[in-house]
Structure 1
């Protein structure tokens, strides 16, 4: 059985009469020890999907799913007390902006030790020793002095390392990294990515990497899921999704990369992502898609495997094949 199994996950905001569906029928599987990349432009539902899995959305969100299982346990229907024993211990998350994710009112040491107190039942000298070990693990210099440091006294890169230390403190089986290199300079980004990859390999964690950076995904992930307007458009192994993209949106994303540009201007898709009041009746990409047909305007395509390729799934009535790509 998959470590994480998601079937038809939907997340809506707003009133019951006029809801906006930010996540629309997402289905994914993640195996133990696997690194899955989730890519897509801003507003495609990447972070909201994972926040729903973690149970971190507030009461304004209406969440439904046919299945939302972690190691066979139903996350949506289990008692809140039982779910709190899983979140932070077996499942952990690194958030987009470490400068705002850390609590400015508490020291670094207090925030790292908090999860150790709750989930590992540590106290006294053992608690401090474990906190120091975690700071050393994420390669923070002079770790003992950092325990009494407040978040505003840290750089962005150091804050992100503290967030990683907190996330891996209880040896989670699943780590979700949501844009872990946002607002960091290029050198620090490379260091953080190398650190995450090392921890994931050494500890055998499953990891979901949410990012806009296709280059990062191509280097670290085993599979990639592409999201568009709250739906999974395509799921495929690396490198297949980069060499043989089947969905027109995935192809457009790759064509927009500077290294793939054949002319003076970067490739773009016309139009904009559909919002609350302009969602199409059929395929959500239909108003922008160069391969749109009559069926696309009235029917919603399902996420299905390509012929003879069970691990390569695409949500499209007319997927691209080798002869269709320029």
Structure 2
């Protein structure tokens, strides 16, 4: 049985123009101990999907799904008090911006201890020792003295390590990391990624890593879900996705990698932007930017189809040579 199972997830927000569906029909499955990468451009719905899993979509947002189950527990029908017992304990999240996620008014040690106290993770006399142990585990030097530091007294990389310490404090079964390296220097980015993978292996927890960096995907993921404009457009094992992407959007993302553009005069790009509330095309949402667009792509929305573990939302998914199937030459 999967640790996390979600079917047909949708997230809507009320706007002046009516309800806008930011996430539409997304399926997510994560097994115990698995590393799943969710990849896509900014605005593709990656973060919103995972915030919905954590129960962090506030009104006027609305979350619906056919199935939303964690470790056999139905999250949709779970009372808020019971949901709070799961969040931070069995499932935790590292947010994108540590400086906006940590409370500037409290020392970082107090904030980590709060997570331990909220879930009765350790006996009260041992809370301080556990906080020091966690800070040391995530690579913060002189952890005992850093407990009393406020977020503004630490670097961005240190604050992100504090966020990770807080997330793993109760030994969660599922850790969601939302672009944990976005605001960090390149050298610090690798340290944070290595730390997450090390912690995942040590604790055997499942890791859902949200990113737009295909290099990170190649180094970390066992399986990849690609999102575009609120929809999942492809799902594959990592090696298969990099060797033979089935959706034109995935292929375009891979073509834009610098290492694949060696010898070219210019780095390939994807024209246009992810459509918003005012410019949603009919048919396939990717059709204005797709080099393989066909007539039916302009009128008929494609479905997510294909064998298990190799699905694509495309009328003419790409073959091993990178050419659309079912199209006359």
* Coarse TM-score class (shorter-chain normalised): over 0.9
Kindly state the Cα deviation for residue 12 of structure 1 after the two structures are TM-superposed: 1.0
Inter-partner Cα distance in structure 2 for 1:121 and 1:163: 17
- Unmatched 5+ stretches in structure 1: none
Inter-partner Cα distance in structure 1 for 2:98 and 2:308: 38
Q: Which residue of 2 aligns with 1:292?
A: 293
Kindly state the Cα deviation for residue 282 of structure 1 after the two structures are TM-superposed: 1.2
Q: How does 1:171-210 map to 2 (within 5 A)?
A: 171-210=171-210
Inter-partner Cα distance in structure 1 for 2:159 and 2:213: 21
Inter-partner Cα distance in structure 2 for 1:142 and 1:270: 48
Kindly state the Cα deviation for residue 125 of structure 1 after the two structures are TM-superposed: 2.6
1:217-273 CA distance string (max 9 Å, x none): 101110111110000010100111111001000001111112212521122233332
Inter-partner Cα distance in structure 1 for 2:207 and 2:43: 21
Indicate the SS of the match to 1:320. Answer: coil
Matched, 1:116 2:116: yes
2:318 to 300, 317, 320: 320
Change (3 A) 1:17 1:157: closer
Kindly state the Cα deviation for residue 44 of structure 1 after the two structures are TM-superposed: 0.5
- Asked if 2 retains the 8 angstrom alpha-carbon contact of 1:120 and 1:170, the reply is no
- Asked if 1 retains the 8 angstrom alpha-carbon contact of 2:57 and 2:63, the reply is no
Kindly state the Cα deviation for residue 188 of structure 1 after the two structures are TM-superposed: 1.0
Inter-partner Cα distance in structure 1 for 2:72 and 2:303: 25
Q: Which residue of 1 aligns with 2:8?
A: 8
Q: Which residue of 2 aligns with 1:259?
A: 259
1:104-147 CA distance string (max 9 Å, x none): 00111110000111112545431111111111111111111111
Q: TM-score, normalised by structure 1?
A: 0.95
- Unmatched 5+ stretches in structure 2: 325-329
1:86-116 CA distance string (max 9 Å, x none): 0000000000011221100011111000011
Aligned length: 323
Q: Which residue of 2 aligns with 1:311?
A: 309
- Please give the root-mean-square deviation of Cα atoms over the aligned residues, in Å: 1.5
Indicate the SS of the match to 1:157. Answer: helix
